[in-house]
Amino acid sequence: MLIVMNVGATQREIDGVVCAIESLGFRAHPMPGASRTAIGVTGNQGAVDIGHFENLPGVAEAVRVTKPYKLTSRDLRPEPTIVDVGGAKIGGGSLTIIAGPCAIESREQAFSVAEAVQRSGAQFFRGGAFKPRTSPYAFAGLGEEGLKILAEVREKFGLRVVTEALDESTVDLVEKYADMIQIGSRNMQNFTLLRRAGRSRLPVLLKRGMAATLEEWLLAAEYVMSEGNYQIVLCERGVRTFAQHSRNTLDLAAVPAVRRISHLPVIVDAAHGTGRNYMVTPLARAGVAVAADGIMVEVHPRPDEALSDGAQTLTFDEYEQMVKQVRAIHEVIA
């Protein structure tokens, strides 16, 4: 259920409704909007009696939400959510660029990429310390050592750092060193991890599962939000299809489709979405053209020596060109 407050409802009236929801054993999610506050109700197993709320002071209406996703939906919050990552904003019309190596390999490697990212004017640095690899024998990241390097990158270059957590215990570590928790494609339906991220103070970058429908993706975000963390950025990173010309099929139609039903920002990962260096820049341009809130790419000083995902990684020169091009496209459509 969704309770829409009157325009100009007082904080006291909002608190009164929250109290009424909690006294029934449910959870209240107040979402202040541009003109009025809406309060989402979760935790109810069956239908809640609308009559409980309709006559409370300050309430405009109580609405049953029939869609499976509730807190992620525009019904609850018509305005786009702007996610705050340590003071840097994602969403609301700006163009976010998240760039960095697939994995943190050494301090030297991370610093040289961070310098290129900073020079380009991007605010976000990515890099895995815990890598989910298909093979158990592949490089799985430097672990906490990698997180320490990320914290140094933040300190030295003033970038916000985004890194993946694989399970509940790595969320604890990521919280210690980073600015944003990435939940990877393979973990999009790891429900205990989603709930743990929902209890974090850090914003979450939620990648689309490699075979997830839009509804499953939004329900994964719903898991995070239902625990009280409303700071989520969705990331389209391609889905598995029969295509053999690319690693995944980047589903750019997902961007307007998500935007139509959800208030959450959505970005496009042109690296994992293609798997091929020569496709990354064209698809990053396309992502911006379909009005994604940002793009993610992988960058390395020597992609052919990268310990993971070299084939989809940009050199510094390629990265610099790409940034110029996507900014020009963003100017045109903004």
Cα–Cα distance measured from residue 221 to residue 232, given in angstroms and rounded to the nearest whole number: 7
**184 binding ligand PEP? (CB under 6 A):** yes
If binding means CB under 6 A, how many residues of this protein chain bind ligand PEP? 11
Of the candidates 237, 247, 300, 330, which one interacts with ligand PEP according to CB under 6 A? 237
**102 binding ligand PEP? (CB under 6 A):** yes
C-beta of residue 227 within 8 angstroms of C-beta of residue 204: no
**128 binding ligand PEP? (CB under 6 A):** yes
Minimum CB–partner distance for residue 243 and Mn ion (Å): 19
C-beta of residue 74 within 8 angstroms of C-beta of residue 56: no
HSE-CB of 196 using CA atoms within 13 angstroms: 21
Decide whether 75 or 298 has the Cβ nearer to ligand PEP: 298
- Per-residue three-class SS string for 201-252: CCCEEEECCCCCCHHHHHHHHHHHHHCCCCCEEEEECCECCCCCCCCCECCC
Residues near Mn ion (CB under 5 A) are: 102, 309
Whose CB is nearest to ligand PEP? 184
Minimum CB–partner distance for residue 232 and ligand PEP (Å): 15
**280 binding ligand PEP? (CB under 6 A):** no
Q: 236 touches which of Mn ion, ligand PEP, none (CB within 5 to 8 A by kind)? A: none
Q: 222 touches which of Mn ion, ligand PEP, none (CB within 5 to 8 A by kind)? A: none
**294 binding ligand PEP? (CB under 6 A):** no
Decide whether 14 or 292 has the Cβ nearer to ligand PEP: 292
- Beta strand segments in the chain, E: 2-5, 27-32, 37-42, 59-63, 83-85, 88-90, 96-100, 124-126, 160-164, 180-183, 204-207, 232-236, 266-269, 294-298
First to last CA, the chain: 35
C-beta of residue 159 within 8 angstroms of C-beta of residue 153: yes
**150 binding ligand PEP? (CB under 6 A):** no
Three-state DSSP at 88 gives strand
Q: 4 touches which of Mn ion, ligand PEP, none (CB within 5 to 8 A by kind)? A: none
**185 binding ligand PEP? (CB under 6 A):** yes
Q: Which residues bind ligand PEP (CB under 6 A)?
A: 102, 128, 132, 164, 184-186, 207, 237, 269, 272
